[in-house]
Chain A
Amino acid sequence: MSHDEMNCRRLILEYLADYEDGSMPAVERAALEEHLSHCPPCVVFLHSYRATGRTLRMLKPRDIPRNLAEAVVHFVKARCKEKP
């Protein structure tokens, strides 16, 4: 991809996920960063995309029910006795 082929639409719709997970080839990455360097709206878009990721990472359930592992083992044993 040449520099001229990178534009806001392609950056947003096609390349952002690869850019963010690091899988984008170096040449394309350089073209994308060159575009960002002179496109404030795309910089805002990138920041909001990252803010979405930060928000989602806050969602992971951290309150695993107490004694869940024990309850699972008890449940499986009980059910397997019912229906061997």
Chain B
Amino acid sequence: MADDPNASDLELVRRIKQGDDEAFREMVERYHSRVYSLSYGVLRNAEDAEEATQDTFLTLYRKIGTFDESKKFFSWFYRVALNSAYSRGRRRKPGITVSLDEYAPRLGSDGTETSPQYQAWVSGMEDEVIARDLAERAEGFIAELPDAYRDVIWMVDVEEMKPADVAETLEISLPALKSRLHRARLYVRQRLAEAASSAPALSERRAAP
């Protein structure tokens, strides 16, 4: 059974439904890091993510009786986690979201991309300092995305969840998920290239003989 994560989850679910506190503790141990990380992706604030994690497990404890055991536990539970994070996020001032079309690749009449400087950026990524600096900025770029795109890119590319599992969690088709993922990646790629072109360390590197 240990080879099947869902079967192992279901075993814990059944024990929690019967009031087994030890099973609840095991569930917290198993999922708290992933729930925290998912919450952080929505809220981008450690304190808020911690509180959303607590809210998520409280909901689990109270609503576990409504979980349909014919479904996968993690997809139900990740939806609970996303809803908890959204609920907490709504209490804050809404951020700025962008139009993805403005950041679509600029293709020339021959179909090739005309935006410059990508090669310099890709080369710069080999430098750990530059890569780390760009990664910190990427967090902000993801936050600029509309929710539906932000969740997908965070879950697939940051959390490294399987696309099929994310599609199931978000209750969308796999082609729809891939479409959102690709558009979100193109947006972040464009923003990273812009950031790289103005990063001092990269500029110095580019200017070096």
**Closest chain B residue, CB of each to CB of A7:** B111
Give the most central of B49, B62, B158, B188: most A CB within 10 Å. Answer: B158
Q: How far is the CB of A21 from chain B (nearest CB, A)?
A: 7
Contact A55 B192 (CB under 8 A): yes
* Interface size band for A: 35 or more
Say if the beta carbon of A38 comes within 8 Å of chain B. Answer: no
Known: A18-B178, A41-B113, A49-B189. A72 touches B28 (CB 8 A): yes
Chain B nearest CB from A73 CB (Å) reads: 6
Residue A27, interface by CB 8 Å: no
Contact across chains for A65 and B182 when beta carbons are under 8 A apart: no
Any B CB within 8 A of the CB of A47:
yes
Query: B157: which of A9, A13, A57, A61 is its contact (CB, 8 Å)?
Result: A57
Contact assessment for B188 and A72 in the assembled complex, using a CB-CB cutoff below 8 Å = no
Cβ-defined partner of B138 (8 Å) among A7, A18, A59, A61: A59
CB of A12, distance to nearest CB on chain B (Å):
6
Q: With A47-B122, A53-B185, A76-B57 as given contacts, are A65 and B28 in contact (CB-CB < 8 Å)? A: no
Question: Which listed residue (A21, A47, A68) contacts B50, Cβ 8 A?
Answer: A68
Q: A52-B185, A56-B188, A65-B46 are in contact. Are A73 and B135 (CB under 8 A)?
A: no
Residues from chain B with Cβ under 8 Å of A21 in the complex: 163, 178
Pick the residue among B28, B62, B112 that contacts A42 (CB under 8 A).
B112
Question: Could you tell me if B153 and A72 are in contact, using CB atoms closer than 8 angstroms?
Answer: no
Q: How far is the CA of A59 from the CA of B62 in the complex (A)?
A: 32
Taking CB atoms, residues of chain B closer than 8 Å to A41 are 112-113
Give 19 A-B contacts (CB < 8 Å), ordered by A residue: A17-B178, A42-B112, A44-B122, A48-B189, A55-B134, A56-B157, A57-B157, A59-B138, A59-B158, A60-B160, A64-B36, A65-B50, A68-B53, A69-B32, A73-B28, A76-B24, A76-B58, A76-B61, A80-B61
